[in-house]
Amino acid sequence: MIDKADPQNPTGNRITRKRFDKALSLTLNSVVFRSSGQDLTTAGAYIEMTSRLLEPALLALAVLAVRGRIKR
């Protein structure tokens, strides 16, 4: 018989806002977005991600608007 204590889960704050923020940005940059290579603040990084997501949608809407005006 071994006299060792049973393993326990780590205690403390494993899920913090800082860790979540870093995990989210790393995941999004590696999977969805390409990084610009600039050192941005957290707000700047999220603004860049949002703009990269919205730009194609806005471009498609602009194309549809022009198409609608031409067809009249």
pLDDT digits (tens, 9 = 90+) for 32-46: 666 667 787 878 878
The distance between the two most distant Cα atoms of the chain, rounded to a whole number of Å, is: 87
Q: Is residue 9 part of a domain?
A: no
* Residue 34 placed within a domain: yes
User: Per the domain annotation, does 7 fall within a domain?
Assistant: no
Separation between Cα atoms, residue 50 and residue 61, nearest integer Å: 17
- What pTM did the predictor assign? 0.47
Any domain includes 12: no
Which domain, by its residues, includes 51?
Answer: 17-71
Task: Give the pLDDT of residue 63.
Answer: 94
Check residue 72 and give its pLDDT. 64
| Per-residue pLDDT band at 64 (split at 50, 70, 90) | very high
DSSP alpha helix (H) spans, 1-72: 17-31, 42-71
